Amino acid sequence: MPRADPAGPDETDAATMARAVAARDGGRVRVVGPPVPVAGLRTGLLPGPDVPRDGRRFADWVRTSGR
């Protein structure tokens, strides 16, 4: 059975997502985003038109998901 990766309603870049997960897990890491927009890191994470939508924002998902 194929795995579903539902998308949330907000656009979030990879560095922001990494910081949120590290903060949730109590990690003391420094996350540095790319200094300039890099193709694929800004828009490559956006879902296509056929991807099912999840109503939760990424920040809400991080708070409620397990480690």
Q: Convert the pLDDT of each residue in 1-22 to its tens digit.
A: 455 566 777 878 778 888 888 9
For the chain, the helix, strand and coil percentages under 3-state DSSP, each to the nearest 5: 25, 5, 70
What's the pLDDT score for residue 43? 53
3-state secondary structure at position 52: coil
State the pLDDT confidence band at 37, using cuts at 50, 70 and 90: low
| 29 has a pLDDT exceeding 80 | yes
User: Which pTM does this prediction carry?
Assistant: 0.63
Q: Who has greater pLDDT, 33 or 57? A: 57
Which residues does 17 contact at the CB level (< 8 Å), separation at least 6?
A: 58, 62
| pLDDT, averaged across the chain | 76
